[in-house]
Amino acid sequence: MNWDEFADWGGKAVAFGAEYHKTLRDRPVRPRVSPGEIAAQLPASPPEGGEGMEAILEDFERIVMPGLTHWQHPRFFAYFPANAAPPSMLAEMLVTMLAPQCMLWQTSPAATEMEGVMLDWLRQAVGLPEGFQGVIQDSASSATLAAVLVMRERALGWAGNVQGLAGQPAVRIYCSDQVHTSIDRAAWVSGVGQENLVKLPAVAEDPLRPMDVAALRAAIAADRAAGYLPAGIIGVTGATGMGACDRLGELADVAQAEDLYLHIDAAWAGAGMICPENRVLWEGVERADSMVFNPHKWMGAQFDCSAHFIRDPDALRQTLAIRPEFLKTLGAEDVTDYSEWSIPLGRRFRALKLWFLIRTYGLEGLREMIRNHIAWSRDLAARLAAEPDFEIVTAPVLSLFSFRHAGDDAHNLKLVEAINADGRIYLTQNKVDGQVVIRFQVGAFGATGADVATAFDVITEIARDMA
């Protein structure tokens, strides 16, 4: 393909993308395909000769499009969406075409310096104090893994990377039973181990289901007496299941008293803190050692883009940095090389999409979107609560709540599947206090109040058809 052909096909791809987004409401949110159906349409062996782009794109529409779940659909109410606002897409297109590798300042000065400024923009936007510095990770999972590695190394006197974990005291990390499974994976991958990730009960009487801090203190004391090495606490703001929020100030008190590292996972809810009225949910976050949230969830940045804030970058660099001669920047020692702040050496130019996104909408435009989502979610919860055969199990935390329809767990699981098979909206299930519930969240960048009203119609219609 020459560059004139590239320009021609690129224009057609952009036109396809615009039309796709304009007509998304006409598509089912989740595809109606069976396992193996897509693979069966692909040749078992690669072609020996090249093929024309026209044939390739025809097959793309014929094979790929019918098998996609449409994450940008305005009625995607499952999980938390990986959003992609139009200016963010344009930035990603430019990054894809330029294809820089941004591991060091010298390999992409503009990418490195823009990343520093964009993370400070985000710091200011969510109300974190000066002193926090940031880095863009690919996901909250990577940021949490990096934090767990720092916890481990700090507790072991920076000996783990050098000596390995054999013969070292068992490092213990504490969190609530509401955390995302990425915390468990961080314990696995870091070598800390599942058995040393101590999950403490949430306070069931509190609507926000925070970690039981008395149980935390007791667990730390018991572990010290048993010869374990407490290393860190992972708090959560807006947990995936039902939006649980720990009392971060209380966790910070424990961390300070016990000399533990405190990391906060606010992957979804952190973006909501650009609205000052929401910051009551994470009071005390300024005392954490690190925190992560994903602009690629609720702010509209193209996936992947995770904002990882650290109070002491030296501890992170001491844990992750390796500087062979060929990676040193000669003649410019006082520069930031973000590969020393991340687990992968290779890095993408992720800051550009934040620059495009924030400049296009401004913080006030993004706040309006988030405030609308919260208001629409609360309105839907109130409408369902007023129906005689529905129960709100967990009240809205920002734009997330959970509910049940009259019937047993099997009935509610069948209801979720029937709703998703219908195609007009997409929901997921969860368990709260051992009971199946149906999760609902508003977070799609293109969602409207009418889309949320459609959700009410679909949920009640299908539930009553099943009764």
**Predicted pLDDT of residue 327:** 59
Distance CA 466, CA 463 (A): 5
3-state secondary structure of 27: coil
Residue written as tokens 């969860």?
Answer: 430
**Predicted pLDDT of residue 325:** 58
Residue written as tokens 């863009």?
Answer: 136
CATH number of 101-348: 3.40.640.10
Distance CA 224, CA 198 (A): 13
pTM as predicted? 0.92
Residue 136: count of CB within 10 angstroms of its CB: 28
3-state secondary structure of 201: coil
**Predicted pLDDT of residue 106:** 79
**Predicted pLDDT of residue 324:** 60
Q: What is the mean pLDDT of each run of 10 residues along the chain (467 residues)?
A: 92 94 93 90 92 93 93 93 92 90 83 94 96 93 94 93 89 94 92 95 93 97 97 96 95 98 96 97 96 94 94 90 63 75 88 96 97 97 96 96 96 96 94 94 95 96 88
Structure tokens belonging to residue 443: 């977070």
Look over the chain and give the mean of its residue pLDDT values, rounded to a whole number: 93
Contact 311, 150 (CB under 8 A): no
Q: Please, which residues have CB within 8 angstroms of residue 413's CB and are 6 or more apart in sequence? A: 429, 436
3-state secondary structure of 307: strand
Domain boundaries, given as residue ranges, for the chain? 101-348
